[in-house]
Amino acid sequence: WWMGEVEDTLTGGAKESKILITSRKVENSQGIGDKMYKLTEMSLDESWSLFLRVAKIQEHELESHNLKGIGEKIVAKCGGLPLVVQTVRSLMRTKMVTKDDWENIDK
């Protein structure tokens, strides 16, 4: 799939440069390169801990605003993928501040 769509972009870099491509599907990496690293998903506890660190917030602060349960559901939907957890929480930190906002994200 990549030959026609992104090959020029990937092969146009500086000599000996490295490119990291991420995908959930193994078949997307076929024909791209010779090294593949399979990452394990984080546990729900690890994902929640990362969510709190990215948010720079303490768990008790979420509890006091009745947001902990909603936050845990959102984190569970991230599938244990650190980049997804970080991205979702970063977006929420800048744009989502009310309980209704959090509930809309959970939908």
Asked if residues 32 and 2 have their Cβ atoms less than 8 Å apart, the reply is: yes
**In this predicted model, which residue has the larger pLDDT, 20 or 74?**
74
pLDDT recorded at residue 96: 60
Is this structure's pTM higher than 0.75?
no
Phi-psi region of 79 (alpha: psi -120 to 50; beta: other; left: phi over 0): left
pLDDT recorded at residue 1: 53
Separation between Cα atoms, residue 43 and residue 48, nearest integer Å? 9
pLDDT tens-digit readout, 87-98: 888 877 766 668
Q: Is the pLDDT of residue 42 over 60?
A: yes
Q: How many residues does the chain have?
A: 107
